[in-house]
Structure 1
Amino acid sequence: MGLFDVLPDDLFKPLASPSRRFYADALLSLHEKTFGMSAEAPRRAAVIHEITDFMARWETANGNIGEDDPRTPREERARAVYQRLLETGWLIEHRDRYLRYVDLDPDASGLLHVLSATVRGDTRTYGGAVIGVLSALESAHANPSERSENVRNAIVASKDFLAHMRMVSVSLRKVEEKILRQTSLHDVFRSFFEDFVQQHLIADYKTLHTKNNPFRFRSRIIQQARVISSSSLTVMSLGEAYFREGRSVSPAMGQVAVLDDLAIIVEIFESTESHLAAIDATATRIERRIANTAKYMDRVGRTAESSILDAMKAVAAAPDGPVNVATSILFRGLPVGPPHMATPRRERAPIDATTVRAPVRDVAYERFLAAKTDYLRRTKVTPKNYLAFLDRALGTSIAIRGSTIANETIENVDDFLVFQRLRELPTIFEGLAARRYEIEMLEDRISNDWIDCQDFLIRRKQGGRHG
């Protein structure tokens, strides 16, 4: 779907006319003052009255509108402006009995909202954006079944934050090019302070180099997103919430959407270093340009001007006729000396011979590594021992309850570690166990001396016997 499949066809006609500045200011005024704070649609007469008042203020500040005849009464010209906005799709009318009410077209209103923010030059604080993402992720992790919307809020805020960083980087490069195009010292300093310092250095760039740097939360955001992704139960709850709230077609697809959203957030905040490097490099070039200008300002300005004035006075005081000026002191070619001559490459020092010693084997350390390897082997749940435990628990049965497994099948700590992961059956090992078995959560609970959790029923799928 393209942009013009959403917006009316003639929407941009007023903004492309000779009076485009007037129409742009009028639309922004209507958006913020007439329709922005109004809970109900205003009447047609009230909107025309607002346009008339705005036209009077605009003509006082900017002169007459190019397309209008100033001899025409202002009320009549305001009606013509209203009719044009209505015909081009900016405004829509509806009737209530014999009264006509006016409102902004919903699609045009969204466009005006973006244009209004552009005109205001709203600056974003990085601290608010970064902390907002972190708070949303922490809330979703603490209560995944009821706060799943915070994951979407976090990814929207992350994308908005990344777009703002790009905008700052491009804006700084634009300012740099503008400064380099200036021909006078006055224009150079005015561009520096108005376009660089006021708009970017104070509002955005300077906040990145304070002790309260908002990027101190960057690692916590990445860690929080990865913690949520690595917790199968949390992802399962978020996926079910996505499905329940209509953001996915099934709980399984909801889990996929959750993992994709979290991966995007991690990718965005891992890429911030490159954007910061680009911003720093551009800002450094601008500051170096201004420093060099200030350094040579006296030499270029006062010294050169005084020398020219002295030369002009000397020429004016000389008698009539040609003025002899000695030019032999001027170099006619670049000087050549030792700094300009090539020097041979230095020889590398020979590498000293060293004695290679065989490492001494530490028996205690090797035993420690063996014990650690055995510990990791026993505590790690693998697909093989996971499926073997399920086959042993079900035996020849079609289904078995978790409480039965807890009381009859668990014989040692290794079995208990596998039992703890049975509730993750739909997602564990990328759905390997879910191809053979299915799980149903029950309302009862399993409670004994070593575990307290919700009971469940594991059922063998048809043809899914593991033999």
Structure 2
Amino acid sequence: MPLFGRLHDDIFLLFSGSNRQLYACVIAALYREFYSGSSFASPFRQDVLLHIAETVRGNAALWADEEVLAELPPPARRLGRRRIRRQAAGSQAGDPVGQRSNHVYARMLATGWLVEEPFGFNTQVEMPPAAMALAEQLVAIEAGLSQLFAGVVAEIRTAVRAILDGEERSLLALPRAAESAGGFVRRLRAIHASLRDVERSLMTSGDLEARLRHFIDEFVDRVVIVDFRAVLTSDHPYHHRHEILRSVDELRQHEQRRQELARKYVQASIAPDEAEAWLAVEGHLGEIEGTFASVDDFMGRLNAFRARLEERLRNTVRYMERADDSFSSEVADLIRRLDAIAERREAAGLPPADWPCALPRHDRPWAAELAAQPRAARAPVAPQRIAPISRDPAEEVYRSLARRFARLFAPRSDAEVAAFLERCVPAGGAVEARVIRLESLEDFLLFDEVRRRRHAGPALLDGRFLAEEMPGLHSSAWIECPNFALRRGPGPGTDRREAP
């Protein structure tokens, strides 16, 4: 039975011998050349053999084991007696690259990496879907698992915003956004794994030169520069995580949009019924929210690991002169010169020099009074009253301000929005957004909440307030947005879809 029902039983036999690196290069080269592009055309047998020969010739050093060379199997459809005879003669012309290429091709056919299909008078070569998935991962590993975020965050942000804006074509973008969020987490884990590889290389380096080379080539070039380049781009999670979390929260509160998503899931056969579709929508939203809510913690772990790695190398560089042979030879030469000076002073009858850098000499390096004194017995702990802990008032004020600041960015409740509107909208009248003055950060966040809620319909807070479009702009130091008017409504029961 095939592995997982799809993979050939012998598909991993190519990597069991000493030539596994050559086979991996050939698989990656064939995938990039014929099976990873946008063309649906399948290559012919001769094209594949030619590309394998070029790869084998370019990686001749990877042929480490002289295997028993297999014969090139006959094509899936006979090409005519003359052409078959000419192919056989060409493969036995004494060219070692050609023989090895035929052997590699034969082994890839035997292990399920390639399959042949007749196409008229020619033979096409296909790569099965499961083998193509493995080849794609081999190409990613060969490329070094680049840590650039490659627009993953921007893709998720655009998809969620398009769903909120009601675009019909974007309703099925949520599963793809959730899948991209999982890929984003895997990229972060790849960064962490690359740091561990660099640390392992540093710790196993035989000398200081190799350790510095690993640090510069692998850590600085492969991790630090690429990571900071990603930070400077607009796709880094630090630039969009709050916006994505707010959009997910808005989508959770938008019942009509979630119902449209559930119906779309059922139509696309993502879920069998609306109840299952509702759970699937909630699961996808939770996956996106959980990913970006934990970005700060994961980034903190990466920075702590990086700081520890840099500290280890800093200590190595700090003490490298102490282990340097040239420094030891200089010290030995200095001692010999000082001894020569002391001998000349003694020959001249002069008293010994009082060197300021000389260490005190002990005539008896081993003596009873120089031995370590035993420790005295510890006194028993006497019971005593523990004084109450007194906290610094400044620390309490700081914690209170920090909690208050953190609450500012939490989702705004209906009571907070109602209090803000009660303060801004006069009784029995109306007010335009362009004249509302935002005095603090809290006012701005509440105003932004009102601005976003009005997109769900003209009625706010169960009809207690009504919003309508107005010409002009609200322009302040906090935000610039289209103008709208707010007035008091008849109260609960107002239809959100009914214009005021």
Alpha carbons of structure 1 residues 29 and 176: separation in structure 2 relative to 1, 3 Å: same
CA distance in structure 2 between the partners assigned to 1:334 and 1:216 by the alignment = 63
Alpha carbons of structure 1 residues 133 and 56: separation in structure 2 relative to 1, 3 Å: same
Deviation at residue 99 of structure 1 after TM alignment: 2.1
Amino acid of the structure 2 residue aligned with 1:18: S
Per-residue deviation, residues 143-195 of structure 1 (Å, max 9, x unmatched): 25331122112111111111111121122123223212334211221111112
Which range moved further: 41-50 or 124-133?
124-133
- Using the size of structure 1 for normalisation, the TM-score is 0.66
Aligned to 2:28: 28
CA distance in structure 2 between the partners assigned to 1:211 and 1:156 by the alignment = 20
Per-residue deviation, residues 220-244 of structure 1 (Å, max 9, x unmatched): 1111111101111010011111112
Stretches of structure 1 lacking an aligned partner (at least 5 in a row): 320-325, 353-367, 382-411, 421-445, 454-467
Alpha carbons of structure 1 residues 315 and 218: separation in structure 2 relative to 1, 3 Å: same
The equivalences for 1:324-335 within 5 A come to: none
Aligned to 1:17: 17
8 A Cα contact 2:19 2:64, kept in partner: no
Deviation at residue 380 of structure 1 after TM alignment: 7.2
Within the alignment, does 1:48 sit opposite 2:54 as a pair?
no
SS in structure 2 opposite 1:299?
coil
Alpha carbons of structure 1 residues 106 and 176: separation in structure 2 relative to 1, 3 Å: same
Aligned to 2:269: 246
8 A Cα contact 1:158 1:268, kept in partner: yes
CA distance in structure 2 between the partners assigned to 1:197 and 1:331 by the alignment = 51
Deviation at residue 75 of structure 1 after TM alignment: 2.7
Deviation at residue 294 of structure 1 after TM alignment: 2.2
Deviation at residue 259 of structure 1 after TM alignment: 1.4
CA distance in structure 2 between the partners assigned to 1:351 and 1:314 by the alignment = 61
Amino acid of the structure 1 residue aligned with 2:134: L
The equivalences for 1:413-432 within 5 A come to: 413-414=490-491, 416-417=493-494, 420=496
Amino acid of the structure 2 residue aligned with 1:295: R
Deviation at residue 270 of structure 1 after TM alignment: 1.0
Per-residue deviation, residues 372-409 of structure 1 (Å, max 9, x unmatched): 7xx9xxx977xxxxxxxxxxxxxxxxxxxxxxxxxxxx
CA distance in structure 1 between the partners assigned to 2:311 and 2:152 by the alignment = 30
CA distance in structure 2 between the partners assigned to 1:21 and 1:163 by the alignment = 25
8 A Cα contact 1:145 1:238, kept in partner: no
8 A Cα contact 1:90 1:108, kept in partner: yes
Aligned to 1:283: 306
Within the alignment, does 1:266 sit opposite 2:289 as a pair?
yes
Per-residue deviation, residues 346-384 of structure 1 (Å, max 9, x unmatched): 9988899xxxxxxxxxxxxxxx99x97xx9xxx977xxx
Aligned to 1:57: 58
Q: CA RMSD in A?
A: 4.3
8 A Cα contact 1:243 1:254, kept in partner: yes
Within the alignment, does 1:307 sit opposite 2:331 as a pair?
yes
CA distance in structure 2 between the partners assigned to 1:14 and 1:43 by the alignment = 22
8 A Cα contact 1:34 1:50, kept in partner: no
8 A Cα contact 2:14 2:23, kept in partner: yes
CA distance in structure 1 between the partners assigned to 2:263 and 2:244 by the alignment = 23
Within the alignment, does 1:172 sit opposite 2:188 as a pair?
no
Amino acid of the structure 2 residue aligned with 1:43: F
CA distance in structure 2 between the partners assigned to 1:335 and 1:304 by the alignment = 31
Aligned to 1:67: 67
Aligned-pair identity in percent equals 23
Stretches of structure 2 lacking an aligned partner (at least 5 in a row): 70-91, 344-360, 391-414, 423-459, 463-488
Within the alignment, does 1:83 sit opposite 2:106 as a pair?
yes
CA distance in structure 1 between the partners assigned to 2:52 and 2:300 by the alignment = 48
Which range moved further: 176-185 or 283-292?
176-185
Deviation at residue 108 of structure 1 after TM alignment: 0.5
CA distance in structure 2 between the partners assigned to 1:351 and 1:88 by the alignment = 72
CA distance in structure 2 between the partners assigned to 1:205 and 1:180 by the alignment = 24
8 A Cα contact 2:52 2:101, kept in partner: yes
Return the match for 2:208 from 171, 185, 200. Answer: 185
The equivalences for 1:397-436 within 5 A come to: 413-414=490-491, 416-417=493-494, 420=496
Aligned to 2:151: 128
8 A Cα contact 1:130 1:215, kept in partner: no
8 A Cα contact 1:123 1:204, kept in partner: no
Alpha carbons of structure 1 residues 2 and 176: separation in structure 2 relative to 1, 3 Å: farther
Amino acid of the structure 1 residue aligned with 2:47: A
Return the match for 2:140 from 110, 117, 123. Answer: 117
Per-residue deviation, residues 62-85 of structure 1 (Å, max 9, x unmatched): 566532579664333322221111
CA distance in structure 2 between the partners assigned to 1:66 and 1:58 by the alignment = 15
Return the match for 1:154 from 156, 177, 190. Answer: 177
Which range moved further: 65-74 or 142-151?
65-74
8 A Cα contact 1:31 1:112, kept in partner: yes
- Using the size of structure 2 for normalisation, the TM-score is 0.62
